Amino acid sequence: MYKVCFLLLTVTAAGAPGLAAPIEADARRGAEFFGSQGCVNCHSSKGAGAGKAPDLGRRLDRDYTPAGIAARMWSHAPVMWEAMGKENITPPKVSPQQAADLFAYFYAARYFEKPGEAERGKRYFQDKHCIDCHALTGTGGGPGPPVEKWESLAAPIILIERMWNHQTQMHNAMAARGIPWPQMSSQELSDLLVYLQNLPQTRGAERFIQLPAPEPGEALFRDKGCVECHKGNLALENRLSDSTLTDIAAAMWNHAPQMRQPPPTLTIAEWRELISYVWGKQFFTSRGDAGRGRKTFESKKCATCHNDASSGAPSLTKPAEPYSAISVVSVLWRHGPAMLRKMEEKHIAWPQLSQNEMANLIAYLNSR
């Protein structure tokens, strides 16, 4: 039912103080949880489901951040709980692990990618001379493999690996044809992927992403010589938090002519470890303004309960591990219905949060 990429990702999901262990997030488990908890009673996914609420799989991309997903779920929660009540569905108690799996499912469904347009992508495939070397099918074309054989369309990590390991071969083939190395923005690559992934011969592919624990990636980053260049102003720490894997693939493509030649070869398994180290935790850790988050905390009347010991609400002191969009979603589903009842007793409206407000609020909670 859920033909989505399967993402296995290690993130730090701190749902409560003391939860310090990294959690492996798997889109397969996220899809199964999405179905088993009755979400499909309202939300369909690629046409499968009741269709009472928006189809979560109809659009190929949405350009949300993790904080944006948490904000939309938070703002919409009372409506969802009411709809579930009418269907006699008990709202699930979403653990940090299950929340992480759901985020993997959302990533697999391209919720975090920039909106792409196939028509533009088709034009780029020609204008950037991709078609000079790659036919769409196995007949005709140049020296490169046909698009229908591209495993990279099914896995962003494989796309990055192909761009890296075959850059010398591609550069030589393009030079022989008098084609300059084309620059490609992240938006152009998104458009190109939307076009190629929706061709008749490729649209049925089941996409797959797997990112393991990040620790081996740190050793690879050092042993493969990445650290020799990516230090100081070029260090990658805190620079990839808003980047998707498509963004990273585009940046690597553009940077290829400036890299040392030949570049060190990396296997698919090594790329998974490396990307998990330099990207995974950054991407799912929201960045915001703590000062603005404090204003949001006060203006949305969170302090009415959370700064009042008599209310029974926990004091939101700084946790052992940082709050994140993932942990906020877990807290929402474990404690949200009780929070809503308490707010109704106090005649406080359920707060609506924007993407920026959620990111700032998380930053504030982590600063207390």
Model pLDDT, residue 337: 92
Query: What's the CA gap between 125 and 83, in Å, rounded?
Result: 45
Model pLDDT, residue 207: 66
pTM higher than 0.95, yes or no?
no
Model pLDDT, residue 136: 92
Query: What's the CA gap between 38 and 47, in Å, rounded?
Result: 16
Q: Can you read off the two tokens belonging to residue 32? A: 């199964």
Model pLDDT, residue 245: 86
Q: Can you read off the two tokens belonging to residue 193? A: 């992927």
Q: Is the peptide bond before 54 cis (omega within 30 degrees of 0)?
A: no
Model pLDDT, residue 3: 46
Query: What's the CA gap between 257 and 173, in Å, rounded?
Result: 14
Model pLDDT, residue 18: 33
Q: Can you read off the two tokens belonging to residue 160? A: 């990055």
Low-confidence ranges of the chain (pLDDT < 70): 1-23, 44-63, 140-141, 206-211, 309-312, 315, 318-319
Model pLDDT, residue 349: 92
Model pLDDT, residue 20: 39
Which 3-state string (H, E, C) describes the chain?
A: CCCCCEEEEEECCCCCCCCCCCEEEEHHHHHHHHHHCCHHHCECECCECCCCECCCCCCCCCCCCHHHHHHHHHHHHHHHHHHHHHCCCCCCCCCHHHHHHHHHHHHHCCCCCCCCCHHHHHHHHHHCCHHHHCCCCCCCCCCCCCHHHCHHHHCHHHHHHHHHHCHHHHHHHHHHCCCCCCCCCHHHHHHHHHHHHCCCCCCCCCCEEECCCCHHHHHHHHHCCHHHHCCHHHCCCCCCCCCCHHHHHHHHHHHHHHCCCCCCCCCHHHHHHHHHHHHHHHHCCCCCCHHHHHHHHHHCCCHHHHCCHHHCCCCCCCCCCCCCHHHHHHHHHHHHHHHHHHHHHCCCCCCCCCHHHHHHHHHHHHHC
Model pLDDT, residue 54: 60
Model pLDDT, residue 1: 38
Cα–Cα distances (Å) from 42 to 56, 109, 244, 329, in that order, read 10, 18, 29, 19
Model pLDDT, residue 311: 65
Residue type, 302: C
For residue 299, the Cα-to-chain-centroid distance in whole angstroms is: 29
Model pLDDT, residue 152: 85
Asked if 256 contacts 163 with a C-beta cutoff of 8 angstroms, the reply is yes
Task: Kindly give, in sequence order, each residue whose CB lies less than 8 Å from that of residue 192, ignoring residues fewer than 6 positions away.
Answer: 116, 121, 124, 125, 130, 184
Angle between helix 96-108 and helix 66-86 axes, rounded to 10 deg: 110
- Spell out the domain ranges in the chain: 118-204+215-270
